[in-house]
Amino acid sequence: MKETPLDSLIRAFAGLPGLGPRSARRIALHLLVNRERAMNPLMQAMAQTAENIRTCHICGNLDLTDPCAVCRDPARADDLLCVVAGISDLWAVERTGIFKGRYHILGGVLSALDGIGPDQLSVAPLLERVRGGAFSEIILALAATVDGQATAHYLTDRLHTLPGGTDLRITRLAHGVPVGGQLDYLDDGTITTALKARK
């Protein structure tokens, strides 16, 4: 039997993070019933976002401009770099409002199990950026998982081998990040504490 457009819609929703078939059907029905109020604005917002979203060539963030708003912000410190695994981590740190430096998105963490090595991540661009920049501190804001910490260890070694790398202050998030904790799932207060107490 051929899949109807409604079936496709439900299947698309069901494939989104945090949604299953049940919530997918509820959302689809809500949109069908509220076409004017809910479906049309959603369609417009999605079409506009899809058309205008860019990957920042400096940090890897997604934004409507390249460079992104964070990289373009003249009020931010140019000597402070926060390295995160993904965009959701950047968002999580931004929500705290206490970090006023720049970011670098790795695109994941090293994982022997998943076959993710340095070449699959934005490691070379990070080293290039630090080499050409005037950073005094690099904050490795990676998850307190085995892979996250192994990645932080690896990056620390690589950063130290850069010219002047031994003068770099390389810090990690401190207390408050539970073992196995992904940044994204932490509340803002916990991230704030972890940032302030970095070492």
CB of 80 to Zn ion, least distance (A): 14
Contact call for residue 27 and Zn ion (CB under 5 A): no
- The CB-side HSE value for 90 (13 A sphere, CA atoms) comes to 24
> Counting contacts by CB under 5 A, is residue 59 touching Zn ion?
yes
Could you tell me if 82 and 100 are in contact, meaning their C-beta atoms sit under 8 angstroms apart? no
**Could you give the angle at the alpha carbon of 113 between the alpha carbons of 110 and 116, nearest 5°?**
35
Residue 68 is a binding residue for Zn ion (CB under 5 A):
yes
First-residue to last-residue Cα distance in the chain:
60
61 binds Zn ion (CB under 5 A): yes
58 binds Zn ion (CB under 5 A): yes
Which is closer to Zn ion, CB of 68 or CB of 139? Answer: 68
Instruction: List Cβ<8 Å contacts ≥24 apart for 38-43.
Output: none
Q: Which region among 13-21, 58-66, 159-167, 189-197 touches Zn ion (by CB under 5 A)?
A: 58-66
Shortest Å distance, C-beta 87 to Zn ion: 10
Tell me which residue of 174, 182, 158 sits closest to 86, measured CA to CA.
Answer: 182
Q: Considering CB under 5 A, how many residues would be counted as binding Zn ion?
A: 7
Applying CB under 5 A, the span of 29-37, 60-68, 164-172, 184-192 interacting with Zn ion comes to 60-68
Q: Which of 56, 93, 139, 159 binds Zn ion (CB under 5 A)?
A: 56
Question: For residues 76 and 100, is the Cβ–Cβ distance under 8 A?
Answer: yes
List of residues contacting Zn ion (CB under 5 A): 56, 58-59, 61, 67-68, 71
